[in-house]
């Protein structure tokens, strides 16, 4: 009997082996892992379902990825020079990086936010803040180019930025560091009671997305960390987390963690807008840059503005309140209905959620708990909607799936926790690898999130990838959140540092993506729009070359009569009028980057030849089978030479 | 070890061997020959009369224009408009009356049909892949492909009218 039993088992096992290996051909094998792979696999030639715009943190840029594949499409240069695209190197874009401190080649880009209409993402623009030298940039999502940068005066560490109201009426920029306003020479020790924190409201032109500072609210000298707009019922309000309500000026690690509760500042911006529209506020002399890029001249202009309208919150009764919130809250997140305001108290054991309805009631019934510099503090118990009890360690940021769930990152315990709005119960938790900062659900900061994926942006990746020396890759992780439980799908490397992100369905943007610039719309003052326009003109020591490029030659490609000591401007126009045919140009010894010129566009680089000789230039972007032939020469003669300027292409001139 | 344990060990060993073997087969499965087939198809055809001198008036080419009757009289207004477009969009590679990067349009109606010319302007990527004359021209002109300058039908037609004035 036993023998029979054994041989039966043996038969079954052999049969199983064959069956399992036959199944190896089909999708049902190793069901778990292949399922996950399929969920992120976007076949060659296929497009991703979502765009993810992930800020570059200390690289100062904004990167564009596809979800669910995690494939990198583009790094949009914003606040840092980018030699690949000549951003901040060519003459046209240098003015974009101008500030009241002069030209600044770098910044720290933090919080991208996509423009909204009626509380929903509209896919027109992305706004993003520079943290270090306070600025806000606008990126046009038809060209994926930065087309505006505005400096924020009276701000320092522009961190609680750059979030939009539900109809993109305003882009909001709050200062992290409080400073003397206006800036002046004073003792640092006199911080308390003297420094101020500015919250700036930038009015957006609905036609073209352009920003203008409408007013700045001068708040007590706290650190304003993050902010989010009210929406739906709370539209018209804006919420800012604060820390360092202790107003410490040194060793904040200890000194700014003394108070049990800091505040969320609730600002009724509609009330302040009305006050300002009726002539309220005080004009203050200042100095800041407003830089605009034109798709017609392909050139940026920088304008200095010397006045800003400031508002003392005490002059607008009923416009500003403080909501006590435990322990140095970081993220300040408003749910899709506009009812709940989550304060992610990063040193708190619990996650605090305030109720907008209760807040209005507390204001109406004056349920105050004192005041701070004249601003009413609402009673904690009277605004609290509920707490998520001990969900994890170090909560930073919460996003929403539009199905009544919230997802919060916990930096210290390195996890994403899913919890339910209203019942405050924890539904699921998944580890991140490692030490997650912010997270992103496409549309997660809007009335209509697309709750299919969450992207976690991690601060530490140590053993997750092949090592690359002491500096290892930056990385994000993708989770499927369409089911009851979250599922980790993908690790994907990112540019440094993946700080914060905004995402939206590709369908919102894809069809509007521009393919080329029309030559006939090019109004660059030095454009050569056909061969007939090409020329070389001397103005003293300045020489202006108006050059064209098309597959696969430059016109002109031989230039003589340049002298040592000249400042030679190469204004180069790409005559192509076909999709995806950019050309590049680089000149030996030029103290700048190459140019990368899109069809129909004109860009300029400067070359100051220091040595006599014949010096070549060439196309840097592989453009055709004759790309290697796309080259030319400039003859450089001694400064004393009498050689006249001449230029040619082939034997034709 | 009990017999059952032994059998399970055997079971997993077989699975490992059989599945490992399969993996190896997959990895070795790239195709060398496939690549060479595409190479052989891409060799250029032999040309005796240069493509730029061949007369192929019955060839209408590949593209949006299948039939085009030219009126007897040249429309001078349209031709002037065409000359303007030609200067802006074409002179980077074409001189009116002599070979440059590409061939000269002068006298082109003696060799090509109006439809072929229109399709070469409007649909060059497709023409150099699928039209024999265009393929040969590409080879004759050094592999420099005709650029698609995204002219509208109306603009291409005006350029065509301008070509009629080149005598």
Question: Which segment of A42-51, A89-98, A501-510, B36-45 scores lowest on mean pLDDT?
Answer: B36-45
Tell me how far apart the alpha carbons of residues A534 and A526 are, in angstroms, rounded to a whole number.
Answer: 10
Domain annotation covers residue A24? no
Question: Which segment of A5-9, A16-20, A78-82, A192-196 scores lowest on mean pLDDT?
Answer: A16-20
pLDDT at residue B22 in the model = 42
- Listed in sequence order, the residues at least 6 apart from B88 whose beta carbon sits closer than 8 Å to its beta carbon are A519, A520, A529, A530
Is the domain of A401 the same as that of A450? Answer: yes
Is the domain of A196 the same as that of A125? Answer: yes
The pLDDT tens digits of the residues spanning A457-516 come to 999 999 999 999 999 999 999 999 999 999 999 999 999 999 999 999 999 999 999 999
Of A13, A21, A581, the CB nearest to B18: A21
B1 touches chain A (CB under 8 A): no
Q: Pick the last residue of a domain from A464, A481, A512.
A: A512
Determine how many CB atoms are found less than 10 A away from the CB of residue A635: 18
The pLDDT tens digits of the residues spanning A183-222 come to 999 999 999 999 999 999 999 999 999 999 999 999 999 9
CATH class of domain segment(s) B76-164: mainly alpha
Give, in order, the Cα–Cα distances in Å from B66 to each of A410, B52, B54, B71. Answer: 65, 22, 21, 17
Of B8, B87, B147, the CB nearest to A550: B147
B17 touches chain A (CB under 8 A): no
pLDDT at residue B19 in the model = 45
Which H helix or E strand runs over A502? strand A501-505
A631 touches chain B (CB under 8 A): no
The reply to whether residue B7 touches residue A552, judged by beta carbons under 8 angstroms, is no
The reply to whether residue A13 touches residue B10, judged by beta carbons under 8 angstroms, is yes
Q: How many CB pairs under 8 A join A and B?
A: 75
Q: Which chain A residue has its CA at the smallest distance from B9's CA?
A: A13
Is the domain of A184 the same as that of A150? Answer: yes
CB contact at 8 A, A204 and A210: yes
The reply to whether residue B147 touches residue A530, judged by beta carbons under 8 angstroms, is no
B40 touches chain A (CB under 8 A): no
Q: Phi/psi class of residue A287: alpha, beta or left (left: φ > 0; alpha: ψ in -120 to 50)?
A: beta
Is the domain of A596 the same as that of A630? Answer: yes
Interface test with A, best of B90, B102, B144 (most A CBs within 10 A): B144
The reply to whether residue A17 touches residue B7, judged by beta carbons under 8 angstroms, is no
Is the domain of A123 the same as that of A190? Answer: yes
Q: Is the pLDDT of residue A2 over 80?
A: no
What is the residue range of A358's domain?
Answer: 50-512
Is the domain of A364 the same as that of A478? Answer: yes
Which pTM value belongs to this model? Answer: 0.88
Tell me how far apart the alpha carbons of residues A411 and A227 are, in angstroms, rounded to a whole number.
Answer: 19
- Helix spans in A380-423 (H): 380-383
By C-alpha distance, which of B93, B80, B81 is closest to B120? B93
Q: For chain A, positions 509-538, list CB contacts with chain B under 8 A.
A: 516, 519-520, 529-532
How large is the average pLDDT for residues A421-442?
97
Q: How confident is the model at residue A7 (pLDDT cuts 50, 70, 90)?
A: low
The two three-digit tokens of residue A519, written as one number: 């030559």
CB contact at 8 A, A198 and A156: no
Domain annotation covers residue A41? no
Is the domain of A333 the same as that of A480? Answer: yes
Q: In what order do the strands lie in the sheet with A395-400?
A: A395-400, A405-410, A415-420, A426-431
- Which residues does chain A have within 8 Å of residue B8's beta carbon, measured at their own beta carbons? 13
Domain annotation covers residue A270? yes
| Cis bond before residue A556 (omega within 30° of 0) | yes
Q: Pick the last residue of a domain from A448, A481, A512.
A: A512
Q: Pick the last residue of a domain from A457, A477, A512.
A: A512
Is the domain of A502 the same as that of A557? Answer: no
Is the domain of A471 the same as that of A575? Answer: no
Tell me how far apart the alpha carbons of residues B119 and B110 are, in angstroms, rounded to a whole number.
Answer: 17
A650 touches chain B (CB under 8 A): yes
- Which residues does chain B have within 8 Å of residue A550's beta carbon, measured at their own beta carbons? 92-93, 147
Interface test with A, best of B147, B151, B152, B156 (most A CBs within 10 A): B147
Q: How confident is the model at residue A650 (pLDDT cuts 50, 70, 90)?
A: confident
Tell me how far apart the alpha carbons of residues A112 and A74 are, in angstroms, rounded to a whole number.
Answer: 15
B89 touches chain A (CB under 8 A): yes
Tell me how far apart the alpha carbons of residues A488 and A478 are, in angstroms, rounded to a whole number.
Answer: 6
Question: Which segment of A168-182, A299-313, A623-637 scores lowest on mean pLDDT?
Answer: A623-637
- Helix spans in A286-415 (H): 356-364, 380-383
Q: Hey, which bits of A346-451 come out as E strands?
A: 351-355, 368-372, 375-378, 384-388, 395-400, 405-410, 415-420, 426-431, 436-440
Is the domain of A544 the same as that of A486? Answer: no
Domain annotation covers residue A35? no
A12 touches chain B (CB under 8 A): no
Is the domain of A315 the same as that of A263? Answer: yes
How large is the average pLDDT for residues A428-441?
97
Tell me how far apart the alpha carbons of residues B79 and B139 are, in angstroms, rounded to a whole number.
Answer: 30
Per the structure, how many domains does chain A have?
2
Q: Is the pLDDT of residue A299 over 70?
A: yes
The CATH number of residue A616's host domain is 2.60.40.420
| Average pLDDT in chain A | 94
Is the domain of A490 the same as that of A551? Answer: no
B126 touches chain A (CB under 8 A): no
Q: Is the pLDDT of residue B40 over 50?
A: no
The reply to whether residue B3 touches residue A6, judged by beta carbons under 8 angstroms, is yes
The pLDDT tens digits of the residues spanning A362-395 come to 999 999 999 999 999 999 999 999 999 999 999 9
Question: Which segment of B47-51, B83-87, B113-117 scores lowest on mean pLDDT?
Answer: B47-51
Of A10, A531, A626, the CB nearest to B91: A531
The two three-digit tokens of residue A133, written as one number: 């030298």
By C-alpha distance, which of A525, A515, A574 is closest to A92? A525
pLDDT at residue A624 in the model = 87
């Amino acid at each position: 009997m036993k023998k029979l039993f054994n041989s039966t088992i043996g038969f079954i096992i052999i049969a199983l082996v064959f069956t399992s290996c036959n199944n190896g051909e089909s999708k049902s094998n190793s069901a778990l892992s292949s399922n996950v792979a399929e969920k992120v696999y976007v076949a060659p030639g296929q497009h991703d379902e979502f765009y993810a715009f992930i800020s570059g943190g200390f690289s100062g840029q904004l990167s564009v990825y596809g979800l669910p594949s995690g494939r990198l499409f583009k790094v949009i240069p914003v606040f840092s020079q980018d030699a690949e695209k000549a951003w901040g190197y060519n003459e046209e874009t240098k003015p974009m990086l101008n500030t009241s401190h002069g030209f600044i080649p770098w910044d720290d880009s933090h919080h991208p936010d996509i423009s909204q209409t009626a509380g929903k993402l509209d896919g027109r623009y992305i706004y993003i803040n520079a943290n270090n030298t306070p600025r806000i940039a606008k990126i046009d999502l038809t060209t994926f180019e930065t087309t505006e940068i505005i400096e924020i005066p009276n701000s320092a560490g522009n961190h609680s930025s750059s979030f939009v109201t539900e109809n993109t009426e305003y882009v909001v920029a709050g200062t992290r560091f409080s400073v003397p306003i206006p800036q002046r020479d004073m003792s640092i020790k006199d911080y308390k009671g003297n420094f101020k924190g500015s919250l700036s409201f930038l009015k957006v032109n609905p036609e073209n997305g352009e920003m203008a500072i409408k007013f700045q609210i001068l708040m007590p000298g706290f650190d304003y960390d993050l902010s989010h707009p009210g929406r739906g019922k709370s539209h018209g309000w804006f919420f800012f987390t604060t820390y360092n309500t202790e107003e410490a000026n040194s060793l904040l690690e200890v000194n700014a963690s003394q108070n049990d509760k800091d505040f969320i500042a609730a600002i009724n911006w509609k009330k302040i807008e009305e006050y300002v529209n009726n002539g309220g506020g005080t004009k203050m002399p200042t100095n800041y840059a407003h830089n605009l890029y034109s798709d017609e001249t392909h050139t940026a202009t920088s304008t200095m503005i010397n006045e800003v309208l400031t508002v003392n919150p005490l002059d607008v009764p009923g416009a500003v309140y403080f909501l006590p919130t435990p322990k140095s809250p970081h993220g300040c997140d408003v749910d899709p209905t506009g009812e709940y305001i989550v304060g992610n108290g990063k040193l708190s054991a619990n996650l605090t959620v305030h109720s907008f309805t209760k807040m209005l009631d507390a204001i109406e019934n004056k349920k105050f708990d004192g005041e701070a510099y004249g601003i009413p503090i609402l009673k904690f118990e009277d605004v609290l909607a509920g707490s998520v009890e001990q969900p994890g360690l170090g909560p930073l940021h919460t996003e929403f799936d539009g199905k009544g769930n919230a997802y919060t990152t916990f930096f210290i315990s390195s996890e994403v926790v899913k919890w339910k709005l209203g019942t405050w119960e924890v539904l699921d938790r998944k580890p991140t690898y490692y030490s997650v900062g912010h997270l992103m659900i496409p549309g997660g900061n809007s009335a209509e999130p697309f709750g299919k994926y969450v992207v976690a942006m991690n601060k530490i990746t140590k053993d997750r990838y092949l090592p690359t020396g002491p500096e290892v890759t930056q990385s994000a992780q993708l989770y499927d959140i369409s089911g009851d439980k979250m599922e980790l799908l993908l690790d994907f490397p990112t540019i440094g540092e993946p700080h914060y992100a905004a995402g939206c369905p590709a369908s919102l943007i894809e069809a509007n993506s521009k393919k080329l610039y029309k030559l006939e719309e090019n109004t660059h003052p030095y454009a050569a729009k056909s061969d007939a326009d090409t020329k070389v003109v001397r103005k003293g020591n300045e020489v202006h070359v108006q050059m064209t490029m098309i597959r696969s030659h430059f016109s002109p490609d031989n230039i003589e009569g340049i002298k040592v000591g000249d400042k030679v401007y190469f204004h180069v126009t790409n005559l192509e009028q076909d999709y995806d045919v950019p050309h590049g140009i680089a000149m030996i010894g030029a103290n700048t980057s190459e140019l990368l010129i899109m069809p129909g566009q004109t860009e300029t680089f400067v070359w100051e030849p220091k040595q006599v000789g014949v010096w070549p230039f060439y196309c840097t972007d592989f453009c055709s089978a004759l790309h290697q032939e796309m080259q030319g020469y400039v003859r450089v003669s001694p400064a004393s030479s009498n050689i006249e300027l001449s230029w040619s292409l082939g034997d034709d001139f | 070890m009990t017999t059952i344990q032994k059998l399970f060990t055997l079971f997993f060993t077989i699975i490992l061997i059989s599945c490992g073997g399969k993996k190896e087969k997959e990895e070795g499965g790239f195709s060398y020959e496939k690549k060479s087939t595409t190479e052989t198809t891409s060799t250029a055809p032999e040309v005796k009369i240069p493509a730029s001198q061949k007369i192929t008036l019955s060839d209408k080419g590949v593209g949006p224009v299948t039939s085009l009757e030219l009126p007897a009289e040249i429309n001078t207004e349209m031709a002037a408009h065409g000359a303007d477009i030609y200067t802006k969009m074409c002179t980077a590679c074409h001189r009116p009356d002599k070979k440059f990067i590409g061939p000269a349009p002068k006298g082109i109606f003696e060799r090509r049909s109006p439809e072929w010319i229109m399709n070469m302007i409007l649909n060059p990527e497709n023409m150099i892949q699928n039209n024999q004359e265009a393929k040969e021209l590409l080879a004759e002109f050094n592999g420099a492909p005709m650029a698609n300058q995204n002219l509208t039908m109306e603009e291409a037609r005006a350029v065509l009218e301008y070509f009629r004035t080149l005598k």
